[in-house]
Structure 1
Amino acid sequence: MTQQEEPPESGAAVDLAALGRQLRALRRRQGLTVQALSAEAGVSFGLISQLERGLGNPSFSALHRLAATLRVPLATLLSGEQDAAVVRRGEGAQLPIGVDEPPEQRVVRELLTPRSSALLQLIRSTLPAGFTNEHRPYRHLGTECVTVERGRLLVVHGESRTELGPGDSMTYGCSTPHWWANADDDETVVLGAVTPFEP
């Protein structure tokens, strides 16, 4: 990788200072040294060091490899570090609802973190009475913490079965198959925070 490659987009303005701050923050959050990130991404140590200082002339290919290694969308890397992002009440993105599902399986999910966030997602799920996804348990990389706002939630994680009531929380690794069921006669509302990291 040389520093003479074509920039990300011809004529596009990239805020190198913001990119550098974001790159450094993402790298440190994942506990990577510049050398380790260089080895994993296949991007030169010198270019990464320059970028973190707000310098350099990165190619699209180099930025794409860095974003992929840091497990974030390229847009997140290019957006620059943000101190705060506000999602107002009722303005969170609505995640798709399975319209072909029976009514008791139609969970309303509102994303309470920005769409661009790949390191943390907070989702409010409203589970109708009778909901269960026992027939389609989840299994993916990451760690999840759920808190019941209203109602009762059954969480089955591997062989463990735990019923949670209002104010109760549970944290678990997502690589173990897990599923939820609404254990209440009415709607159950759950806040779930998910990160792509797992101990």
Structure 2
Amino acid sequence: MSEEVDAVTVADLGAVIRTTRKRLGMSVADLATRAGVSFGLVSELERGKGNPSFSSLSRLAAALDMPLAALVSPRADDAMVVRGDQRTHIPVAPGTPASMRVVRELLTPRTALVIQLIRSTLPPGFSNEEQPFRHLGTEAVTVESGVLIVVHGERRVRLAAGDSITYPCSVPHWWANGDDGETVVLGAVSPIEP
């Protein structure tokens, strides 16, 4: 019985490490190097296996720019409900300039891998044109407030509050804040692409 609980705990831990690492745009090798742990340890944890030491978990949490408690906290309530005051904040890579520091709040449970709902607050002047995204999946975005510029391949779209767009993520795409103040965006991401 306890082995089954441990396996679930390691699998849950691995899922958090994998999703956070991917959101930061790091490879397994990048995370291992940054944390000062072996490639094999990270790979094994992401597959839900292994028995990491406290020291290794501390290093991984620091490398993912998250508190250790957030990495290893019990997730009983994560099954379905995310309370407004307990949202997971997706970390920003260290050294990111203020104009690129998007506040991203995960509105779905941390371990939900089929779909993720993220609330992003873009600072004035934000644009990731120099580092467009390209990955598998489908994204649907709704502007809550402000103005969002979305460039998907060759297509450029200006979205105001209440406007939405859905696109396959395998095409290079980037966002820019088209407003003088903050722009708030709700985005749903699925690993499935039509």
- The TM-score, its normalising length taken from structure 2, stands at 0.61
Query: Is residue 111 of structure 2 the alignment partner of residue 116 of structure 1?
Result: yes
Which of 153, 159, 163 does residue 164 from structure 1 map onto? 159
Determine the structure 1 residue equivalent to 2:126: 131
Change (3 A) 1:11 1:89: closer
Which of 12, 15, 25 does residue 4 from structure 2 map onto? 12
Query: Aligned residues, how many?
Result: 127
1:90 partner SS? helix
Q: Once the 2 structures are TM-superposed, how far is the Cα of residue 99 of structure 1 from its aligned partner?
A: 3.8
Counterpart Cα distance in 2 of 1:13 and 1:111: 25
Change (3 A) 1:11 1:161: closer
The percentage of aligned residue pairs carrying the same residue is 59
Q: Once the 2 structures are TM-superposed, how far is the Cα of residue 103 of structure 1 from its aligned partner?
A: 1.0
- The TM-score, its normalising length taken from structure 1, stands at 0.59
Runs of 4+ residues deviating >6 angstroms: none
Q: Which amino acid counterpart does residue 123 of structure 1 have in structure 2? A: I
Higher mean C-alpha displacement, 187-196 vs 91-100: 91-100
Q: Over alpha carbons, which structure has the higher Rg?
A: 1
Which of 182, 187, 190 does residue 182 from structure 2 map onto? 187
Change (3 A) 1:13 1:154: closer
Q: Once the 2 structures are TM-superposed, how far is the Cα of residue 98 of structure 1 from its aligned partner?
A: 3.0
Q: Which amino acid counterpart does residue 93 of structure 1 have in structure 2? A: T
1:12 partner SS? helix
Contact 1:143 1:197 survives alignment (8 Å): yes
Contact 1:92 1:112 survives alignment (8 Å): yes
Query: Is residue 92 of structure 2 the alignment partner of residue 92 of structure 1?
Result: no
Give structure 1 stretches of 5+ with no counterpart. Answer: 1-8, 15-71, 76-81
Q: Once the 2 structures are TM-superposed, how far is the Cα of residue 181 of structure 1 from its aligned partner?
A: 0.1
Counterpart Cα distance in 2 of 1:11 and 1:133: 44
Q: Once the 2 structures are TM-superposed, how far is the Cα of residue 143 of structure 1 from its aligned partner?
A: 0.1
Q: Once the 2 structures are TM-superposed, how far is the Cα of residue 10 of structure 1 from its aligned partner?
A: 7.8
1:176 partner SS? coil
Q: Which amino acid counterpart does residue 138 of structure 1 have in structure 2? A: F
Change (3 A) 1:158 1:93: same
Q: Which amino acid counterpart does residue 132 of structure 1 have in structure 2? A: S
Change (3 A) 1:11 1:187: closer
Q: Once the 2 structures are TM-superposed, how far is the Cα of residue 186 of structure 1 from its aligned partner?
A: 0.1
**Which of the two has greater helix per residue?**
2
Change (3 A) 1:161 1:11: closer
Counterpart Cα distance in 2 of 1:126 and 1:11: 41
Which of 140, 146, 149 does residue 154 from structure 1 map onto? 149
Q: Which amino acid counterpart does residue 108 of structure 2 have in structure 1? A: T
Contact 1:73 1:118 survives alignment (8 Å): no
Determine the structure 1 residue equivalent to 2:23: none
Counterpart Cα distance in 2 of 1:102 and 1:95: 16
